[in-house]
Amino acid sequence: MKKFLLFLLAASMLLSLAACSGGSDGGSTATPPANSGDTGNPATPDPIPPVDAEGGTFKIGGTGPLTGGAAIYGQAARNGAQIAVDELNALVGATLFELNYQDDEHDAEKAVNAYNTLKDWGMQISLGSVTSTPGVATSVENFADRIFAITPSGSAVSVTEGKDNVFQMCFADPNQGTASAQYIVDQALGTKIAVIYKNDDVYSTGIYDTFKSKAAELGLEIVSTTTFTEDSQQDFSVQLTDAKDKGADLIFLPMYYTPASLIFQQAKSMDYSPKYFGVDGMDGILTLEGFDASLAEGVMLLTPFNADSSDANTVSFVDKYKAAHGDVPNQFAADGYDCVYAIYEAIQKGGATADMSVSQINDILVAQFTSMSFNGLTGENMTWAANGQVSKAPKGMVIENGAYLGMD
């Protein structure tokens, strides 16, 4: 206990100095999560002391859509990760981490080009790609180059499948589909279900497949299943008419927020008002430029992060994010933040230093991620299987009065 108190005192003195010097996240103080540790008990964690930065600076790179229709996701993940980097650099009193995010425009070929740019820069640790289709492409490169990767939100199974050094902070797609069906049944949210999914997208189809299977197991009736593609995601009249004619009282939407926003608009014009249940790709819809947030009133989704939580670490993160970027952070921002802190904890426990080869760093991080338990903004007692998938509990959220509220 005495060592723990001395650590907290030293950290407090260091953070006071950091507050005087300011930082790139709007001058906020650096506060490492109080609940990081491997005890599985957030109330009484093992303290994680600062890493000795004398070994140099770790270069962390990632790709994501920083421009284009999916930019909300990429920008959020980058911004969340940067806040964590700034906090940790202040904690150790040196530049322990340098972060470099490259724009992939949610395109697989551009993501590989961005990855190669990061590799030329000297990337030693990767945050993979923010979205699934680019993530499938870049994870192949991570595996071949033996550069450890943990993606904040590339949730397709094929991102990690067959690659022992690629991990996910987000739920894998099968888990989202299964958990969504179970939640709808447990909470008695609907009896006649329609599903609209994007059949040329690995993210959407992966969730749909497991949702369909779990719904059949649970006796949840799917009365309408319709699809769309990248080229047809402007007009949803056929899909909505089918759902309405078959009496669907809830529509499951395993997709990103942009097509979902059009579905909400077009359903209203048809005087059709079912319940809607989405997945993590729905997070961010309230900040979509030009979108009438009232259309999302009552929309439900599963997500591991609640920006309205009273937890001290969440409050601190949300305040810093708002100060730096003027928006409330979504799940993708929190996942990016957690990725950096999980990397930091693995480095500390494994004794990795920046002067090691990428393959040495890779091996240390793989060993730590497959054995440690991590507490972050998006979950407590998180663990990772050898296949890279994370185990953590989802939270049911509903949009009310333009904000996300917990349902549990």
Q: Percent helix, strand and coil across the chain, each rounded to 5?
A: 45, 20, 35
Tell me the pairing of strands 374-376 and 379-384: antiparallel
φ and ψ at 267, to 5 degrees? -65, -40
Dig out the tokens for 78 from the structure.
Answer: 């980058």
φ and ψ at 403, to 5 degrees? -145, 155
Q: Is the pLDDT of residue 21 over 70?
A: no
Contacts of 196 (CB under 8 A, 6+ apart): 226, 227, 228, 236, 239, 243, 251, 252, 253, 255, 263
Whole-angstrom Cα distance, residue 50 to residue 11?
9
Indicate the pTM of the whole model.
0.78
Least confident range from 119-123, 222-226, 254-258, 337-341: namely 254-258
Tens-place pLDDT, residues 303-342 = 889 888 889 999 999 999 999 999 999 999 999 999 999 9
pLDDT grade for 10, boundaries at 50, 70 and 90: very low
Domains and CATH numbers, the chain: 37-171+309-393 (3.40.50.2300), 174-303 (3.40.50.2300)
Residue located via tokens 């663990």: 383
φ and ψ at 70, to 5 degrees? -105, 20
